Amino acid sequence: MTDGATGPVGLKVSTPDEPAADVSATVAENVLGRSPGQLAWLRLKRDRTAWASGFALLFFAVVAMAAPLIERLYGKGPLDRFSDKLDGNGNPLGYLGGVSAEHWLGVQPRLGRDILIQIVYGMRTSLLVALTAALLTIVLGVVVGIVAGYLGGKVDAVLSWLTDLTLAFPFYIFCFAFVPIAVAQRYGPTDQEASWFRPVLLIIVFVLFNWTYSARLVRGQVLTLREREFVEAARASGAGLGHVLFRQLLPNLWAPILVTFSLNVPALITAEAALSFLGIGILEPTPDLGRLIADSVNYVRDDPAFTLTGGITLFVLVLAFNLFGDSLRDALDPKSDR
């Protein structure tokens, strides 16, 4: 934006007395050479939404990472029960689901667990699953897209068919079929599942079904990039396939990759919460936002504050990621329209 605009604007204000050559000279002096990355960073720094959402994300990341520390300071673990805070029916005593100086967001009905520490740990689970899955997704998608786009021909045809096939799978419904069977394969009906098993399973499912978007995007970009001179030059000087793909082409793709990644994370947070809400994802006793909401929906009549607490946390988390991703896209690609 800045570079391109200075030229014509500078010419417009020049008076007829001034020689044109001088104008272009002064313009050239004032213009500072900036890389696309620097320009994007400058744009991002000027964007107030980016600042706000960036800080929110930083806050969530710190809270999630420091969960054990928060547990010590706050003095309550995610599985501790505070039955004395419940009435005879298992409903929390006091207003707004038992909000007090001791339990900042109240206590869970029936179980009597502290809600705040559950949310802190739940965010940890959500972020861990979503970030890992988004990272692996983008790696897989980029590799498939770059290979399909550059090699073309039969390889492209097969990979594109695979993409179409994956898109035809009904994601949620296939997850329902896949997850319980994978669990039943590994564990008998009465066995206790290891706590890492479900998160890993979810990550696998997310990666298997989510790589298609980034693969298509990268493939499209590579289709135009591969005809460019620098690729031809690299090939002419005897560069191998790996060098052309990952040293020549990949650096030209980081902008769309970054944007896709940052917008994929909130989608995966939502999907993880939905699956756990439905009882297919994370299980007791691992704290999780989706599971917390699933439990809270049972008490929505008597304790609506509990239901809203979990839901609002999820909303704010997803919103922060989406806003930041949008700002990032605007910064990297100023032509894109909101």
Partner 1 sequence: MLRFFIKKLLLAATTLITVSVITFGLFFAAPNNPAELMCGNRKTCTPAQEESIARRMGLDKPVVQQYADFMAGIVKGRTFGEGDAVRECPAPCLGYSFRNDEPVTDIIGRTLPVTLSIVFGAAVVWLLIGVSVGMVSALRKGTIFDRGAVGFSLTGASMPILLFGPLLLIIFVYETGLLAYPSYVPLTENPVKWAAAMLLPWLALGFINSASYARLSRAQMLETLSEDFVRTARAKGMTKFRVYGKHALRAAITPIVTIAGLDLGTYLGGTVVTETIFGFTGLGKASLNAAINLDMPLVMATVLLAALFIVAANVIVDVLYSFIDPRVRLA
- C-alpha neighbours within 13 Å on the C-beta side of residue 50: 17
- Among 3-11, 94-102, 138-146, 274-282, which window interacts with partner 1 (CB under 8 A)? 274-282
Categorise residue 75: left if φ over 0, alpha if ψ from -120 to 50, beta otherwise: left
Which part of the chain contacts partner 1 (CB under 8 A), choosing from 137-145, 175-183, 192-200, 227-235? 175-183
Task: Tell whether residue 164 is a contact of partner 1 (CB under 8 A).
Answer: yes
Site string for partner 1, 184-213 (x = CB under 8 A): xx----------------------------
Residue 299: its H or E element: none
Least separation in angstroms between residue 288's CB and partner 1 is: 12
- Report the residue number, 147 or 318, with the smaller CB distance to partner 1: 318
Instruction: Choose the binding region for partner 1 from 10-18, 129-137, 232-240, 305-313 (rule: CB under 8 A).
Output: 305-313
State how far the Cα of 136 lies from the Cα of 265, in Å rounded to an integer: 11
- Number of Cβ atoms within 10 Å of the Cβ of 20: 10
Q: How far is 215 from 9, CA to CA, in rounded Å?
A: 40
CA distance 196 to 323: 31
Q: Contact region for partner 1 (CB under 8 A) — 9-17, 77-85, 145-153, 296-304?
A: 296-304
Q: What size, in residues, is the chain?
A: 338
User: Using CB under 8 A, which of 198, 326, 330, 332 touches partner 1?
Assistant: 326
Regarding 233 and contact with partner 1 (CB under 8 A), the answer is no
Q: Cα separations (Å) of 282 from 121, 296, 335?
A: 13, 16, 40
Residue 83 CA to residue 113 CA, distance in Å, equals 8
The amino acid that residue 59 corresponds to is: F
By CB under 8 A, which span of 98-106, 130-138, 146-154, 292-300 interacts with partner 1?
Answer: 292-300
Report, in Å, the least distance between residue 229 CB and partner 1.
31
Measured between alpha carbons, how far is 192 from 247 in angstroms, rounded to an integer? Answer: 47
Residue-wise burial string across 123-145, b where 16 or more C-beta atoms lie within 10 A, e elsewhere: bbbbbebbbbbbebbbebbbbbb
Residue with tokens 């704290």: 287
Determine, following the binding rule CB under 8 A, whether residue 322 of this chain makes contact with partner 1: yes
First to last CA, the chain: 17
Token representation of residue 53: 């959402």
Per rule CB under 8 A, is residue 11 in the interface with partner 1? no
Tell me the residue type at 180.
P
300 contacts partner 1 (rule: CB under 8 A): yes
Minimal distance in Å, beta carbon 115 to partner 1?
Answer: 15
Q: How many residues lie near partner 1 (CB under 8 A)?
A: 47
Which of 95, 104, 172, 246 is in the footprint of partner 1 by CB under 8 A? 172
Residue among 20, 93, 177, 200 that touches partner 1 (CB under 8 A): 177
Contact residue for partner 1 among 169, 230, 246, 254 (CB under 8 A): 169
Residues within the interface to partner 1 (CB under 8 A): 164-165, 167-170, 172-174, 176-181, 184-185, 266, 270, 273-274, 277-280, 290, 293, 296-297, 300-301, 304, 307-308, 310-312, 314-315, 318-319, 321-323, 326, 337-338
